[in-house]
Amino acid sequence: MFLFRWLRRIVKTILWLAVIVVLVPVVGLAYGFLTTSSLAPLPGVADGAPPKPLAEKVRAEIPGYQRPRQATYLAYPQWTGVYTARDYAGFVDRNQPSGFPYWSYIGRFWQDYATMIRASPGKLNIADHRMPVITGTSQTIEQALQWAYENTVGRITEAIAGKRTATDNYQARMASEYASFLDRAPWYRFPYAEKRAGLFGVQPAPGDGAVRSGERKLAYGLADTVKQAYAGFVGVAFAPASDPAGIHVWAKGPVGEATRNEPDTLLEHDFGADGTVFVTRPGQPLTEMIPRLIEKGVSFVEIGGNDEIMLTVLSPAEVAAPEGTRTLFSYPLPADPDTRRTGLTIAVRKLHIVLPALIKSGARLEHVYEG
C-alpha cells in the first residue's frame, strides 16, 4: 500500500511537471502576441535585384546556397540566451544575483519571439520552432526558479554574510566564462561538472561566513548537476549532428581582394560585373566580417540566398531606422538601462549603406542573424 501511494505521488508529480512544461510556451507566446504589434512590409527589399536567370542559375549550381527565408528571424531567439547570460554576468560582477531582473528577461524573450514569428515570411512550419520553443521554455523555467530561490534563501544568506564571499566571486567569474563560451559554442557543451568541482574547491576568504559559502556551494552545485544532465539530453536528442555548414554570400566590388585574408572563406563563383559568390563561416565570424568588407568597398546582393536579413545593434540612446530598414523592437536592457538593443530587418542590397549609418549614429553592431 505504501509503495502504491509512493508511485502515485511520483506519477502525479511527473504529470504536473509535464503540464507546466507545455503551458510555459503557450502562456509565453500569448503574452508575447498580446504585447507586440503587427509589422509593416520591409521597404526597398527588391531594389537592385540580380537578373532572374542568373539568380536561378546560382541556386541550381551551388548546393546549399538557399536558406529558408525565415531563418534570419528564427535564429534570434536562440541568441537571447547568450545575451541574457552576458547581461547576468555583467550584473553579478557588481551586484548580488538576488537583484537581477529575471522576470523582465522572461517577458522580453516571449515578446521578441512573437515579433520574430510576425516577421517571418510564408507559412508557419512547426518544425522550425522546435529549438526556439525549447530555448524559451528552458530559460523561463530556469530564471523563474532562480528568481524564487535568490529572493528567499539567497537573500537570507546574503544578509547573514553581510558582504560578497569567495563563492560569490567564483560564481561571478563562472557567469563571465559561461557568457564568453556561448559566443563560440552551444550552452549544452559547457563543462558544468568541471565548474562544479571548482566551486566545491573554493576556500573561504577571511571573514566569510560559513552559512553563505555553504549555501552557495550546495545550491549552485545542485544547479550545475541538473544542467549537466539536461545538457546531455538536449545534446543527444535535439542538437544537430555536426556544426552548421558554411553560408554563401553573393557580393559585389573587390570581393577577392577583400576576402583574401578572411579565415575559412572561399571564393566559389565569379560573375564579373554581377558579383562574386563566396562561402564563409556563419554566426559571429560573419558578423565581424561584414563591417570589414564594407570598409573595403564591398556591397551585398544576397546572404544565405535571401534579400533581407535581421541584425541587432546596441546604443546609448534610441537610433533612427535608416531607409531600407524596418524596426522590429527597441528597448533598454533590463539589467543595464543605459544600453539599448534595437532589432532591425535590412534589405541586403542596402546593408553597405545602412550599417555605416547606424555606426555613425552611435550604434554598435551586435549580431547579424543569417540562420
Query: What confidence tens digit (pLDDT) does each residue in 190-232 have?
Result: 999 999 999 999 998 888 888 999 999 999 999 999 989 888 8
pLDDT at 255 over 70: yes
Q: Are residues 96 and 159 in the same domain?
A: yes
Same domain, 322 and 356: yes
Whether residues 220 and 90 share a domain: the answer is: yes
Let me know: does 76 contact 283? Beta carbons within 8 Å: no
Domain check: are 215 and 264 in the same one?
A: no
- By residue range, what is the domain housing residue 184? 74-237
Cβ atoms of 171 and 216 within 8 Å: the answer is yes
- Whether residue 261 is found in the same domain as residue 228: no
Mark whether 313 and 177 lie in a shared domain.
no
Q: What is the pTM of this model?
A: 0.88
Say if residue 250 is in the same domain as residue 232: no
Burial 78-104 (b: 16+ CB within 10 A, else e): bbbbbbbbbbbbbbbeeebbbebbbee
- Please check whether residues 231 and 304 belong to one and the same domain: no
E-strand ranges in the chain read 247-252, 266-270, 276-280, 299-303, 308-315, 325-333, 336-347, 364-369
Among 237, 262, 292, give the residue marking a domain's end. Answer: 237
226 and 253 fall within a common domain: no
- Single out the residue of 259, 257, 253 nearest to residue 285, CA to CA: 259
Is it the case that residue 277 has pLDDT exceeding 90?
A: yes
Render 99-142 in DSSP notation, one character per residue: GS-HHHHHHHHHHHHHHHHHH--SS--GGGGHHHHHHHHHHHHH
- Please count the structural domains in the chain: 2
Asked if the structure places residue 10 within a domain, the reply is no
Higher pLDDT, 31 or 244: 31
